[in-house]
Amino acid sequence: MAGTVTVPSPSVPSTPLLKDELDIVIPTIRNLDFLEMWRPFFQPYHLIIVQDGDPTKTIRVPEGFDYELYNRNDINRILGPKASCISFKDSACRCFGYMVSKKKYVFTIDDDCFVAKDPSGKDINALEQHIKNLLSPSTPFFFNTLYDPYREGADFVRGYPFSLREGAKTAVSHGLWLNIPDYDAPTQMVKPRERNSRYVDAVMTVPKGTLFPMCGMNLAFDRDLIGPAMYFGLMGDGQPIGRYDDMWAGWCMKVICDHLSLGVKTGLPYIWHSKASNPFVNLKKEYKGIFWQEDIIPFFQNATIPKECDTVQKCYLSLAEQVREKLGKIDPYFVKLADAMVTWIEAWDELNPSTAAVENGKAK
């Protein structure tokens, strides 16, 4: 591994949650000064930095953080020909970090995201909230009108079936953004000055059967439960599309979570998204996606995974075949993407032989 540096820090809080069970994955092309603001919350954890773009460039990481860093040369060396499934010049490359992590949980954050404040003015420990979200159950099978029933001061309301109150395991926690909202290029263009200033104090489960737009900016998940479905697709350099990496992962992941009865939460925590990306550049990247998503959404809404698929890998390979068959008709890109989805699973299993073995054992 390139650039592995471990510096124990004296300022580590006494008992950070899941300290040895969670990696923070950060894709970047620049010096990681943004970590200074996150120091009180992130320093106890191990970072996996995925350096995008020119591998000869040196990325500066503030002192005191424990991290490993991978650039494109590392990715090519580790994955060999399978490196083709990892995007280049697009933040989709972050999923390489999910693959090399050895931890149960992953939190991923963009380097233009800062610590937000709650309405009382207190700094929000986004990571802590994600961990709380992941460690408490979800409620995908029935809607609770008072939001997260497991939260202090809340519960299931009248009319909520008692047999469903145990909930489901939570696979994904999707956090939101204050300041710059995650808009597409057309909306950015129409509303250049819109800022999100509304703090909605809620975490909710995205119901079973419902798709949502998953943003990769502020996202945590349980690698053991859903890791192999968190592939961010083929985007950026050499590809006809960008900015659909997290969406793609979100749609695939949600269909698989629904199949495996796993939960997906959205809402808290907020981060402060500091700056809007260029809407003209974004429009160029999104252009085809804006058309394609009109077919992709119905495709995922109607996708069913065969009953015998009882592992994430099997579910994902089934989806890959459906993508090839049904979306391949829209554009040859989707055939290439389906190939990459298969390669991704092969690479995942290669780097995570124990999981692969367990999964195969389970399947017998």
- With tokens 């503030």, the residue in question is 62
> In whole angstroms, how close is the CB of 95 to its own copies at the nearest point?
17
Return the bridge partners of 49, or none: 26, 69
> In whole angstroms, how close is the CB of 187 to its own copies at the nearest point?
5
Q: With CB under 8 A as the contact rule, which of the stretches 3-11, 57-65, 185-193, 344-352 interacts with its own copies?
A: 185-193
Return the bridge partners of 222, or none: 105
- In order of 21, 139, 165, 181, 261, the CA distances from 264 in angstroms are 20, 9, 16, 21, 10
Q: Are residues 74 and 2 in contact, defined by beta-carbon separation less than 8 angstroms?
A: yes
Contacts of 162-169 with CB under 8 Å at 24 or more apart are 164/139, 166/137, 167/137, 167/138, 167/139, 167/263, 168/137, 168/138, 168/139, 168/140, 168/141, 168/261, 168/262, 168/263, 169/137, 169/138, 169/222, 169/225, 169/262, 169/263
Near its own copies by CB under 8 A: residue from 4, 9, 58, 210: 210
Q: With CB under 8 A as the contact rule, which of the stretches 30-38, 84-92, 109-117, 245-253 interacts with its own copies?
A: 245-253
Q: With CB under 8 A as the contact rule, which of the stretches 91-99, 106-114, 123-131, 144-152 interacts with its own copies?
A: 144-152
Near its own copies by CB under 8 A: residue from 62, 135, 183, 330: 183
Number of residues that bind its own copies (CB under 8 A): 58
Is residue 144 within the footprint of its own copies (CB under 8 A)?
Answer: yes
Near its own copies by CB under 8 A: residue from 10, 161, 353, 361: 161
CB nearer its own copies, residue 45 or residue 147: 147
Is residue 198 within the footprint of its own copies (CB under 8 A)?
Answer: yes
Query: What is the rounded CA–CA span in Å between residue 176 and residue 268?
Result: 6
Query: What is the rounded CA–CA span in Å between residue 139 and residue 208?
Result: 9
CB nearer its own copies, residue 114 or residue 299: 299
Is residue 362 within the footprint of its own copies (CB under 8 A)?
Answer: no
Please give the residue ranges that form the binding site for its own copies (CB under 8 A). 119, 142-147, 153-164, 174, 176, 181-184, 186-187, 191, 194-202, 206-215, 243-244, 246-247, 250, 266, 286, 290, 293-294, 297
